[in-house]
Amino acid sequence: MADTKREIERKYEASPETRLPDPGRVPGVKTVVDKGVVELDAVYYDTADLRLAAASITLRRRTGGSDAGWHLKLPVAPGVRDEIAAPLSDTVPRNLASLTRVRIREAELVPVVRLRSSRDIRHLLDAEGALLAELSRDAVRAERLTEGGGTAAWDEIEVELADGGDPTFLDAVDKKFRKAGLKPAASPSKLARALAETAPKGKRAPKQPAPPAVLDPGTAGGQVLAYLREQAAALLAYDPAVRRDLPDAVHQMRVATRRMRSAFKTFRKVIDRSVTDPIGEELKWLAAELGVARDQEVLTERLKSRIDALPRTLLLGPVRGRLRLWSVAHGAGARRKAVAVLDSKRYLALLESLDTLLADPPLLKAAGGAAARVIPAAVIKDYGRLAGRIDHALELPAGEARDLAMHDARKAAKRARYAGEAATPALGKAAKKFAKRMKAVQTVLGDHQDSVVAREALRNLAIQSHAAGESAFTWGLLYGQEEAAAAQREAELPGVWAQASAPELRADLSG
């Protein structure tokens, strides 16, 4: 079983002669407890071409100290990492290896660096004796374990916030330490410094991926490529979060796939669709596979909130129990299936395709044009597509045909919104305002579609209840509520669309 904690720390340069400032003078510190010196021995694992290090990820096996074992550290923000621990074993634990798969793909994890540290530890306590932070002074010896590697040695000072501590405490420590002459560490981690200072000399370095294409940010190609790389980076970052079942991770990973697909379509005059269309289809597949668990979770929560809002006198039969059984039956194994998708060869092939696309993008002639000229035309074209679908939906009478038309309009609204967001770096406030208005349309249409899906689920629940000899009254009541909610969204749409379709919004995009 792996344990996870949020690691928030500051590192400082030091030498054997560096005098440590008195931590007892830091505001909030009442007592400093000397915990003695421990000897730590850590072997860091990576691929031969250091893919984990390139993503600021560390994986180590460490002995000594109170937390001996395997540790995987995933970046969250500068100075903040999630540390996932597993017990000592001779090989990389499968659960930790799984969390690195999106980076290493089919490559092998091998020992690359050994760090041995003499760590002098002090605990900083507040007036109630609670731990504020752990202050460590490390004398580090690094050894490169790959062919031709060297050795290095240095000292450093580290202050790690206690679990659940206030990050502003580290600001107070930083102020005191800087005033005493200490400088923040130049390297973000011991591993980064070790890799830099023990690199093989006179040996051929491992083959590195081709450097990404660099384009003028003022061109349409430069803007589109930067946006696509941003979404690809998000997809990679959320992969381990999905595997860890973190809140909202599946949703955010799906959003990244949808934004890329949308950009491929919106900017098809900038980047060759004969190359992007097949990748877009694979992104569509990935979003659908990941969405099973997420969609069921959202739908269940919607129905549960409806039930919770009803008076007890209207809850006839085992309504909550029936909903639980239905939810479990529809969601069984969904997360396991999602992780299986992330481990599949098809997914890994998609990642390789994205890497190739972004390293050597198939740009068209329009990519060299000014972003302020090319991008507005693409965004306005997506708007026109949405306008046609909205007009069609509003012309239809209430019923199944209108429901389907509004669903199609919702997808077009999402694409127009994403186009506006992608255009914001180039077009500024005009694109941001456009995207905001498109999001408002998407929200109304999305709520309507959620009601359509909820009604189908409620109908099935009513059928199941009736077949089991239970009252179907409550499910029918909720069905009626969802019908009313859908009618309300339909009534709201013309007003929301009137604001979103104001001609000045599009005029402002073109300057």
- pLDDT tens string 195-239: 999 988 765 444 555 556 667 889 999 999 999 999 999 999 999
Burial of 134 (0-12, 13-18, 19+ CB in 10 A): middle
C-alpha of 125 from chain center: 35
Asked whether residue 183 falls in the same domain as residue 240, the answer is no
Question: Each residue of 391-423: pLDDT tens digit?
Answer: 999 999 989 999 999 999 999 999 999 999 999
The whole-number pLDDT of residue 205 equals: 46
Residues 79 and 15 in one domain: yes
Q: Residue 467: what pLDDT?
A: 96
Least confident among 46-60, 155-169, 193-207: 193-207
Query: Tens digits of per-residue pLDDT, 350-403?
Result: 999 999 999 999 999 999 999 999 999 999 999 999 999 999 999 999 899 999
166, 197, 228 - which closes a domain: 197
pLDDT tens column, 91-141: 999 999 999 999 999 999 999 999 999 999 999 999 999 999 999 999 999
DSSP 92: -
Q: Tell me, yes or no, whether 240 and 386 share the same domain.
A: yes
Is 171 in the same domain as 232?
Answer: no
The count of structural domains within the chain is 2
Residue at token pair 């090319």: 374
Question: Measured between alpha carbons, how far is 458 from 452 in angstroms, rounded to an integer?
Answer: 10
Q: Which H or E run contains 114? A: strand 110-125
Query: Per-residue confidence at 78, pLDDT binned at 50, 70, 90?
Result: confident
Contact 41, 60 (CB under 8 A): no
Residue 428: is its pLDDT beyond 80?
yes
Domain that holds residue 247: 220-509
| CATH for 101 | 2.40.320.10
- Mark whether 171 and 295 lie in a shared domain: no
Whether residue 233 sits in one domain with residue 109: no
Band (pLDDT 50/70/90 cuts) for residue 1 is: very low
> 206 vs 310, which has greater pLDDT?
310
The tally of CA atoms less than 13 A away on the side-chain side of residue 3 is 10
pLDDT at residue 211 in the model:
54
